[in-house]
Each structure stands twice: as structure tokens, then as C-alpha cells.
């Protein structure tokens, strides 16, 4: 079984009520719920929230949720792995089974599509890795970024010898965008890590579908992309 886990904490400082803020005519979280429902690999959806309004919306969309996240796991500093672990143990008790695979779909990545979910699952299963994380090409190339240091600065990544144009730079730099995290459930609970350095498989997706909604600017950007048909 592949369980889609959607975390939707009520509190948000950057955008108050973020999970229910409107994006292209739909509440933000609805984009993620619909993508999960449209996936051909997701067997069940688990909503982890402390917000009754989010639960009501999910039920209207066809996702039954009887779980209410405890207040102690809804604080600003609550770790995602603690949230996930509590939800999975509740799920195991309620369903008398633990999912074989787990996919974390954060509502703050509304442009991630069901096709991305399915392609990531296929890549994950083919890779043989215990975990997978979604990435997209970096907008600012590391060889054009600098680190300020006492007495000077240095390039974040030294440009190759002889490089004089951007086209001469390496093109294997990616940004972990938070849109998709996949794991074998047993490995996730054992290691308590979504990303294992050098070991997690990578799912490369277009930069426009990796937009993460944190501030009002991100929401405006996502709106523009949707209106321009950038999905």
C-alpha cells in the first residue's frame, strides 16, 4: 500500500490561514488533495491537521478524515518526522496495517501534479532506494553565487577552468523543492530521515511546478503560472 500523507497545520505566519487561502479559484490544499486523488498509485490519503475547516473540505472532496492532530504536534517548531510518526502509528492502530510505502505531499506545493506523483513513484520503485526527494534545476547557478567571508568572498561552487559563459558551467545543480518525499515506511521510521545524503533517489521536475508557497509573493507567482498555462 502507498499512503499519501498530507500535513496541514492550522498556524501559519507568512500567510495566515494558508491551507485555505484561494489559489486560482480553489483553496490551496485542494490542489494537493486533487493531485493525490488523481494518482494511479496512491491507495489511500491520510490528512494530518488540527483544523476542522480543512477536515470538512477534505470530506467534501472525498477524503474521509477521522484523525485530529494533537496540539503538541501543531506548534511552529514541531518536526515533520514527529508529525508523520504519530500519524502513521494512529493509522496502523485504526486500519490494523502499516503502509509499505509513504509519500509526503505538502499543500505548499500546489503546482505538483498527479503526473509528477506517478512519475516519482515509478522512479522510486525502479531505483531500489529507501527514499526519494523531488528537485528542480537551480535558478541561480552556484558558480555565479558568492559566500561572504571575513576579509573577502568565494564562489559557492568554483567555476570550471576556462568557463567564460553560463553555458560553460556544470548543469547538475538542483534544489530540493519539498513537493514530493517518498519512502519505504519501515526505513523512514527506522532512520527518521526523509532525505539521506547521497542515497536518496532524485525526481527532477520542472522549476515552475516546484513553487513552494511560503510568502504572499509565492502565491502571486503560482497564480501567474496557472493563468499562463504553465502547468
In the chain (231 residues long), the average pLDDT of successive 10-residue segments reads: 96 86 97 98 97 96 93 87 96 96 98 98 97 92 84 82 60 91 97 95 96 95 86 55
Give the three cell numbers for residue 143: 558558480
Same domain, 74 and 164: no
Give CA 107 to chain center in angstroms. 8
Same domain, 153 and 98: no
Percent of the chain topping pLDDT 90:
76
Same domain, 118 and 149: no
Are 121 and 38 contacting, i.e. CB atoms less than 8 angstroms apart? Answer: no
Same domain, 81 and 37: yes
For the domain that residue 221 is a member of, what is the CATH number? 3.90.550.10
Same domain, 35 and 98: yes
Same domain, 27 and 67: yes
Q: Which pLDDT does position 168 carry in this prediction?
A: 56
Query: What is the secondary structure of 79-122 as a DSSP string?
Result: -HHHHHHHHHHHHHHHHSS--SEEEE--TT-TT--HHHHHHHHH
Are 195 and 176 contacting, i.e. CB atoms less than 8 angstroms apart? Answer: yes
Q: Which pLDDT does position 161 carry in this prediction?
A: 66
Are 164 and 125 contacting, i.e. CB atoms less than 8 angstroms apart? Answer: no
When divided into structural domains, the chain yields a total of 2
Same domain, 62 and 103: yes
| Nearest Cα residue to 131 out of 105, 102, 92 | 102
Same domain, 97 and 68: yes
Domain span at 44: 2-137+173-227
Same domain, 123 and 144: no
Same domain, 119 and 223: yes
Same domain, 53 and 131: yes
Q: What is the pTM of this model?
A: 0.90
Amino acid at each position: 500500500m502507498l499512503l499519501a500523507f498530507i500535513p496541514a497545520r492550522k498556524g501559519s505566519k507568512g500567510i495566515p490561514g494558508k491551507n485555505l487561502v484561494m489559489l486560482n479559484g480553489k483553496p490551496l490544499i485542494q490542489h494537493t488533495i486533487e493531485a493525490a486523488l488523481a494518482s494511479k498509485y496512491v491507495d489511500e490519503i491520510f490528512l494530518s491537521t488540527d483544523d476542522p475547516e480543512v477536515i470538512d473540505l477534505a470530506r467534501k472532496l472525498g477524503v474521509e478524515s477521522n484523525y485530529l492532530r494533537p496540539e503538541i504536534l501543531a506548534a511552529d517548531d514541531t518536526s515533520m518526522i514527529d508529525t508523520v510518526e504519530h500519524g502513521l502509528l494512529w493509522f496502523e492502530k485504526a486500519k490494523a496495517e502499516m503502509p509499505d510505502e509513504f509519500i509526503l505531499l505538502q499543500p505548499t506545493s500546489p503546482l505538483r501534479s498527479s503526473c509528477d506523483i506517478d512519475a516519482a513513484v515509478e522512479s522510486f520503485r525502479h531505483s531500489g532506494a529507501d527514499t526519494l526527494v523531488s528537485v528542480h534545476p537551480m535558478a541561480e547557478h552556484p558558480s555565479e553565487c558568492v559566500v561572504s567571508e571575513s576579509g573577502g568572498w568565494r564562489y559557492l561552487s568554483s567555476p570550471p577552468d576556462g568557463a567564460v559563459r553560463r553555458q560553460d558551467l556544470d548543469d547538475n545543480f538542483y534544489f530540493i523543492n519539498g513537493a514530493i518525499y517518498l519512502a519505504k515506511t519501515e526505513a523512514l521510521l527506522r532512520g527518521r530521515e526523509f532525505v539521506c545524503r547521497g542515497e536518496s533517489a532524485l525526481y527532477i521536475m520542472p522549476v515552475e511546478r516546484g513553487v513552494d508557497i511560503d510568502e504572499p509573493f509565492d502565491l502571486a507567482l503560482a497564480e501567474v503560472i496557472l493563468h499562463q498555462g504553465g502547468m
